[in-house]
Structure 1
Amino acid sequence: METRALTRLNETLPSVFDEFLRPWTDLFDNGGWNLRPINVPAVNITEQPNEYLLSLAAPGMKKEDFKIDVDGNMLTISSEKEENKEEKNKKFTRKEYSYSSFSRCFSLPEEIKQENIDAKYEDGVLKITLPRKEEAKKPAVKKIAVK
């Protein structure tokens, strides 16, 4: 009875050792390299009559952490952030450093007016406005009454 209870407890509470090994076991899951993206922010793209709005969730960052490039019809959003806090006169048993990076690429349609692309970061969300060229703007929907 006690052994079964311990087994159930072990199944529900992963050990510290399991957590330590997770990055390595995840890497080789499914019989080979597991190439799923890690730490890639979620993105929403909203189509509006005069523009597209790309919203990238990136809480805890500063506007200076982002690099946004347009090369041809490719929009690239990337970030590289390293944190290394040095505390003098302390005896450390454990000291952690923080490093994170990501890169997202989006193919821009021909209708985007690239010279007017604008970006703003507020409340943990990077918002990129992708305005349409005049000739590509969608006309307002006209409703026709049936007589």
Structure 2
Amino acid sequence: MSSLATIQKNGNEMSTSKNATRRSNASLPSFSSWVEDLFESGMGTGFMSNFNTGMTLPAVNIKENAEEFFLEIAVPGMKKSDFDIDVDNKILSVSSERKEDNTTEEGNYTRREFGYASFKRTFTLPDSIESDHISAKYEDGILTVHLPKKEEAKEKPAKRINVS
């Protein structure tokens, strides 16, 4: 005697009969079609667009106070000489390109390791930045770009006006 009871699980109907179980498994996607669907979805596209390109974008914090802005860019493992920082037409560009090639020859074998990494971040500067006085320093894996504000853009302290 076959018992057939339909129950709800995660919004889908499930049957407890053996024949119904076989039929429901037939509608499950195969592993290869599941992988294809995964990479055709938005997640897969975004993942594959940056896969194996040697490009990663470092995290950036932007801080502001009354006098200036600071960009803090997390780029560990670099040297000061690895960075190119340019200002052109109110666009600040921070980029780096690093190539490594290590070859070791011992006895009858050669070991060669090489790598490539690069990034470029651009920022549109507001009119309030004094672009002639932008400076940068690199310390403990953080590149800090100092963007001072023009004198007229600096916040003035509150002022009380007496009525006469």
> By percentage of residues, which structure has more strand?
2
Post-superposition offset of 1:29? 4.5
> RMSD between aligned alpha carbons?
2.4
Which protein is bigger by CA-based radius of gyration? 2
Aligned position for 2:104:
87
Is 2:84 the counterpart of 1:73?
A: no
- Rounded to whole Å, the distance in 2 between the matches of 1:67 and 1:44 is 19
- Rounded to whole Å, the distance in 2 between the matches of 1:68 and 1:102 is 12
Is 2:110 the counterpart of 1:132?
A: no
Rate the CA distance shift 1:107–1:95 in 2: closer, same or farther, 3 A: same
TM-superposition CA deviations, 1:92-113 (whole Å, max 9, x none): 5x64311000000000000000
TM-score if structure 2 supplies the norm length?
0.63
- Rounded to whole Å, the distance in 2 between the matches of 1:54 and 1:141 is 27
In the comparison of the two structures, how many residue pairs are matched? 116
Range with bigger deviation, 132-141 or 101-110: 132-141
Identify the match of residue 50 of structure 1 among 67, 80, 87.
67
Identify the match of residue 132 of structure 2 among 95, 106, 115.
115
Aligned position for 1:41:
58
- Rounded to whole Å, the distance in 2 between the matches of 1:126 and 1:29 is 37
Rate the CA distance shift 1:41–1:142 in 2: closer, same or farther, 3 A: farther
Return 5+ residue gaps in structure 1 as ranges.
1-24
**Letter of the aligned partner of 1:129 in structure 2?**
H
Identify the match of residue 41 of structure 2 among 30, 33, 40.
30
**Letter of the aligned partner of 2:41 in structure 1?**
N
Post-superposition offset of 1:40? 0.7
- Rounded to whole Å, the distance in 1 between the matches of 2:158 and 2:40 is 50
User: Which one has more relative contact order, counting CA pairs under 8 Å at least 6 apart?
Assistant: 1
Aligned position for 1:103:
120
Post-superposition offset of 1:88? 2.2
Return 5+ residue gaps in structure 2 as ranges.
1-35
- Rounded to whole Å, the distance in 2 between the matches of 1:80 and 1:29 is 31
